[in-house]
């Protein structure tokens, strides 16, 4: 009942290109400085989790011959592209923004295992020159082992000086990882804001009333549904401080609450679950589609309105909602300049008045 025909595109109206619509992002002051870590140090930091690779669907993808070619480049003294590492101010951990394949390849070689999750096996060099072909790290000559351990891989360490958040990592990651299919904003957030809040968002995304409202039983592979969960929490809890661009507001909320306390997580969970249950009961399945796709602006305004009136659902709520979707002023607010501060606040006020006024 929830899943649409295979040939129907899953569309979120009004948010097709949120960043372009939002206009320019905030201006940052960034410190970037080089660090010439040896491969031995990089390997040690990675094993100790002081250099961390964010979890994301695109894990290790290099072939064994590609990884072997990298090892050979170090043995030959050839240049290798640098790493980009973002220093997390709170923990001091260095987060890999660019260079994951290089770091995992060298670390795997030192450990003796090719790091592919799909085909793990001993890391014997493949497609290299005769002195090294077929060799594990421990089978190399002592001089070659020391040469590798003492080789340096330049790392560019990036720190955000201002504003007082860490939203720049979102933009840096997005711009450095542009090969292949572009990442969606929430996929980037998953990479850079791992923590308790992200885990909660994934759990909330599986709630049956939310799946019915969203209109698909299975999670969206590009995490657009999870972003809508985050969008509701951000606008309901931080509307007073909301500023465009929307993407930065969502990222800032995730950054501030990435390691939320158990009490905060319980508050977020209760707020979302109670609201989606009431919306589902009151408006039924797939309610936020005034035309052909889920309209994110209709969604956020109605959800916030319901959250503000958890125990006062009028008996004629469906008629009120139908009239709201015919209101030309409201339709203007949910189809044009939808992330402008004034538009966000005005459509929420309009939805609240239409749905709960004089109830």
| Digit-coded pLDDT (tens) for 292-309 | 789 999 999 999 999 999
Q: What is the pLDDT of residue 352?
A: 97
313 — pLDDT class (breaks 50, 70, 90): very high
Which residue stretches of the chain are H helix? 18-22, 39-47, 64-76, 100-111, 142-150, 168-176, 185-192, 196-204, 208-214, 224-238, 246-257, 262-283, 296-308, 317-324, 328-333, 341-356
Q: What is the pLDDT of residue 114?
A: 97
Q: What is the pLDDT of residue 55?
A: 60
Proportion of the chain above pLDDT 90, given as a percent: 66
Quote the tokens at residue 59: 């894990």
Tokens 């964010």 correspond to what residue? Answer: 54
- In this model, does residue 165 exceed pLDDT 90? no
Q: How far apart are CA 281 and CA 283, in angstroms?
A: 6
Q: Using one digit for the tens of pLDDT, what is the confidence trace for 201-233?
A: 999 999 999 999 999 999 998 899 999 999 999
Domain extents for the chain?
12-26+181-356, 29-162
8 — pLDDT class (breaks 50, 70, 90): very low
For the ranges 55-64, 82-91, 267-276, 341-350, the lowest mean pLDDT is seen at 55-64
**Cβ 77 vs Cβ 150: under 8 Å:** no
Quote the tokens at residue 132: 């090294």
Q: What is the pLDDT of residue 19?
A: 40
**Cβ 353 vs Cβ 324: under 8 Å:** no
Task: Identify whether 163 is preceded by a cis peptide bond (ω within 30 of 0).
Answer: yes
Polymer length in residues for the chain: 359
Could you give phi then psi for residue 152, rounded to 5 degrees? -105, 145
For the ranges 164-173, 236-245, 281-290, the lowest mean pLDDT is seen at 164-173
Q: What is the pLDDT of residue 68?
A: 97
Q: What is the pLDDT of residue 30?
A: 84
Q: Using one digit for the tens of pLDDT, what is the confidence trace for 320-346?
A: 999 999 999 999 999 999 999 999 999
Contacts of 49 (CB under 8 A, 6+ apart): 93
Q: What is the pLDDT of residue 104?
A: 95
Q: What is the pLDDT of residue 205?
A: 97
Q: What is the pLDDT of residue 18?
A: 44
pTM: 0.67
Tokens 């992330």 correspond to what residue? Answer: 339
Q: What is the pLDDT of residue 257?
A: 94
Q: How far apart are CA 71 and CA 35, in angstroms?
A: 20
**Cβ 341 vs Cβ 243: under 8 Å:** yes
Q: Which of 51-55, 116-120, 189-193, 301-305 has the highest mean pLDDT?
A: 301-305
């Amino acid at each position: 009942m929830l899943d649409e025909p295979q040939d129907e595109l899953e569309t979120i109206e009004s948010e097709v290109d949120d960043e372009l619509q939002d206009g320019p992002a905030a201006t940052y002051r960034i410190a970037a400085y080089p660090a010439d870590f040896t491969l031995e140090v990089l390997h040690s930091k990675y094993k100790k989790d002081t250099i961390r690779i964010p979890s994301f669907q695109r894990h290790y993808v290099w072939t064994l011959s590609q990884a072997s070619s990298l090892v050979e480049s170090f043995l030959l003294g050839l240049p290798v592209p640098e790493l980009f590492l973002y220093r997390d101010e709170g923990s001091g951990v260095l987060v890999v923004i660019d260079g994951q394949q290089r770091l995992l390849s060298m670390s795997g070689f030192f450990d003796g295992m090719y790091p592919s999750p799909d085909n793990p096996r001993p890391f014997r060099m493949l497609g290299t020159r005769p002195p090294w072909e077929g060799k594990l790290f421990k089978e190399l000559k002592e001089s070659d082992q020391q040469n590798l351990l003492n080789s340096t891989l330049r790392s560019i360490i990036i720190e955000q000086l201002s504003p007082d958040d860490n939203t720049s990592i979102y933009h840096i990651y997005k711009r450095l990882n542009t090969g292949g299919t572009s990442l969606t904003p929430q996929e980037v957030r998953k990479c850079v804001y791992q923590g308790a809040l992200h885990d909660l968002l994934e759990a909330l995304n599986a709630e049956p009333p939310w799946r019915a409202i969203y209109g698909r039983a299975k999670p969206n592979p590009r995490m657009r549904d999870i972003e809508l969960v985050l969008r509701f929490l951000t606008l309901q809890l931080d509307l007073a401080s909301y500023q465009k661009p929307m993407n930065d507001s969502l990222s800032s909320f995730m950054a501030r609450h990435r390691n939320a306390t158990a009490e905060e997580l319980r508050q977020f969970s209760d707020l979302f679950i109670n609201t989606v249950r009431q919306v589902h009961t009151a408006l039924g399945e797939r309610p936020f589609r005034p035309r052909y796709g889920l309209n994110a602006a209709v969604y956020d305004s109605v959800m916030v309105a319901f959250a503000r009136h958890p125990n006062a659902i009028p008996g004629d709520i469906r008629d009120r909602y139908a009239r709201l979707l015919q209101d030309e002023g409201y339709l203007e607010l949910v189809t044009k300049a939808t992330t402008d501060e004034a538009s966000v606040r005005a459509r929420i006020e309009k939805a609240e008045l239409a749905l709960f006024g004089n109830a």
